[in-house]
Structure 1
Amino acid sequence: MNKGTRPDQFFETDTAVAKRERQAAKAGNTNGSPIALKSKILGAIADPSNPSSVLVAESSGSVRRVNVETGDIKQVYKGPTAPVTCVAVGGSGNQTIFAGSWDKDIWSWNVASKAVGRKFSGHSDFVKAIVCTQLSGKDILISGGADKKIMVWDIETGKRLHVIQDQVVSMMAIQDLAIDPERSSADEMVLASASSDPHIRRWRISLGSVEQIAEDAPEAPGTTRPTILEHETTVYKLAFDIHGDEADLWTASGDGSAKCLSRAKGFTADDAINHGDHVRALAFTEQWLVTAGRDEDVKVWDRATGKLYCALEGHYDEVTDLVNLAGSPGVGTRLVSVSIDGTVRVWSLDKGALDKFIQEQEDKANGVEKAAVVEKAPEGLMTTEEEDELAALMEED
C-alpha cells in the first residue's frame, strides 16, 4: 500500500479543510506575476549584485537567486539539509552569502562560484536572523537565534567575538536584527533586536565591548527604561526609516500592528497602522508603507493620511518578507513579496499601477472579469512532521 502524503488523505478539521480549499482556489491567480518555487520561502533580501534579483531562503535548505524580470531561478546555493530561515550578503566586497538554518549553523558560500565556505557554529537552536557590517575595518556577521542569544562573529577568522543576552528583562527567541544607521560609526555600532517577547532592545557594540542601551522614559523625565515596549506581543520585523538627519524605527508585530517609533520622542509610537492580523514584514517608500503577514494580503498604506490605499491580493498563504527593488523606466519602485505558498511576486508601487489594480479588483467583484481557472496549490518538499514544526515556529516561539 502506498503511504498517503496529501493533506486530504489525513483527518482534517472543518477549518483546515476550508483553508485548504480556499488556498487551492486562490492558487491559480496571476496577480504579481508569480514565480513558483518548489518549497516554502521563509525570507528574502535584495541581491546587491543584480538590481532585478532577490535572494530567498527556502524551506528545502537552500538559498536561491530569483530574477523577477526574467523569471530565472536556476542559481542555487546548497548545503543545509534543514530549512534556511534568513539570508545576508557581506564579507570582503560583498562576495559571500550567509544563511541561518534550522540546523543551528550559519552557512556561507562564495557568490560567484557557489562553493560552500565556513560554517559558523555556536547557537543551540534555530538561527532566525543575520546581518553583516564592518567594525574597525573588520567584516562582521551578527546572528540571532531561537536560543535567545545574539552572537557577533569575525567573518575572516570565524572567531566569535561576543555572545549577547539581556541580563535585566528575560529575552525570548530573536526574530530580527537591524543596525541603527544614525548612531553607528566606523568603530562602534548600535544594534536593535526584536524577539518573541514584545520588548525591543538596543545594544552598543565594538570589537572589544558590548553595552545594552537604556532608553529615556518620556513618561517619567529623568528616568530610563531597559527596553522599548510599544507592542503587546512578538515583534517580527525592524526597519530604520532614514529621513533628513534622523532615522526613526518602524516595527511589525504579532499584535496586528506596524508602528513608527520616533527617535525624537524616545522611541515611543508616533504613528501606528492596524493591519488586522500578525504582521510579518514591512517596507516603505516616501509615499507608502507596506505591510504583510498571516492574512496573505500585501497592504499599501498612504503615509500622509495613514489610510489603507490598496490591498494587493495574490498570495494564498502567509507572506514572510517584503523587499524593495529599484524600478525600471516607467514603472517606479517595485516591491517583491515572498510567501509560505512558494511564490515570489513583484508589484509596482507606482500610483497609476495601484489604481489600475484597484479597478481590476472592483471589476472582478462586479463580475466583469471571467472566472479564474482554479488550480491546486503546489505541494512543498517537507514531510508532515516538518510541516507541523514549521507551522509552530511561524506561530510563536
Structure 2
Amino acid sequence: MDDRFEDIASRPENSIFQVVFFPDRVYHAQYLNATRSPRYRYNVTEVRSTVDVAVLKGQVYLDGRFLSNFLRIEYRGSRLVELARERNRLLGRQLVGWMKLHPRDASLSAEAEVRLEYCRWTDAYQVEIWQTLEVPTGARAHDLSVLDQMGRDGAITRVRTFDAALNDIKGLKALELAFREGPRQWPSGRAIPQPEWDNNFGRTHQELRVDQPSAEANTVRDLNYYVDFQRGFLLQAEDVKPIRYLNAMMDGDNPDVKPGNIIEMRWLLQRELGGSLIFFHEVTLPPGKVEGTHQHIGTEELYYVVEGKGVAYLGEEDDPALASRPTVEQHVFGLGKKACKAVPVRKGSVLYTKSGGIHGIRNEHSTQPLKFVAFLYHTA
C-alpha cells in the first residue's frame, strides 16, 4: 500500500466513501509470518479476496535486502466446516490447499498442493509460499524465530514447481484454489478416509461454446475459487457474445413455456469478481418473452432496467409497499404455484430480491425489447 493513503484516510470525502481504502489499508504487517522478527519486511503489492479466501502477493526483504517474491493464502473455512460437520467431524489444525498459478507467460503455469496451518492472529488457515528460502549471498542467516516456520509443510514454504511463475510476481495474473480437510481428524488423530473438498461448491461459469439455446456445453465446470489480479476492466456489452436460453427457469407445466420463448444473456463479469459476487450480466427479453419466476435461497440479486417496459413479479409479501398491487398466481420454478404481486417496470426500475424472495419478469411489448442488468451474489 502506498504510504500516502495514510495522509488522506481521514479526509471528509473518504469518511463518506470509506470503502475506497478497504481492505488494503487495514492489513496489518504483524499478521505476516516473518514479522515476528524485525529483520524482515514485506512489500505487499496486491490483496485479493473471494468469499472465504484472501490472497496477498509481493516481496520479502531481509535486513533491507531483497530476499524473495511471495504469495500468502488465507482461508477461513466456513464452507469446509459445514461439509466436515455433515460427516460428524471437526476441522483440525491443518488443511490441504490445491493451487494453480496463471502467470503472464502461460507456458509457466503450474499447480501443486500445499499445507495450510491454522493461525490465531488471522483466525484463518494460512501459508506463505516464497520463491526461495535461501538467504542472499553474504547475508546473515535466517532469524531463529522465523526459521522454525520454514519447511516443506511449514507456514513459510517453497514449492519448486512455482519458482518460474513467481519469478515475475507482477506478471502473476490469477490463481485457482480449492481446499480439503487435512489427513487426520481432530482431536482423535484418526486418519480421514475420504476428506471433504471445498471447491467453491461446484462453481461454474457461462461461456459460449455452442450456439444453441440452453446448451449444456455452455456451462463450464470450474470446481474451484478464482482470484484475478487484474486491476481494471473496460468492456463493451455488445462485444460480448450473448448466450441464449429457452424457457429460462421454468418447469414443463408452466403455461409460459413455449418453443420460441428464448432470452439472451451477455455474461459480462463472472469469475473476475471478488467477494461473494457471482456474476454481472445483461439480459435481453425480446418482445413477448418471459424470464421464469424463481426464488433465491442463500443469494441476493439486483435487476436494473436499462431499456423497455414490462411486468415484474415479486413474492406476495416480499415488499410491503406493494400491498395494493394486483395479486396474481405465478408458476415458481421448482416450487409450483405461488401468489405474487404484478408490478410495471420501465427504464430506471430496480428490483432487489433478498434470500427467500421471489422474482421474475415479462416483456409484454409487441415490438420493443426489454433489457436489464443483474448482479447476483452470495449472502454469506
- Calculate the TM-score normalised by the size of structure 1: 0.26
Larger Rg: 2
Query: TM-score under structure 2 normalisation?
Result: 0.27
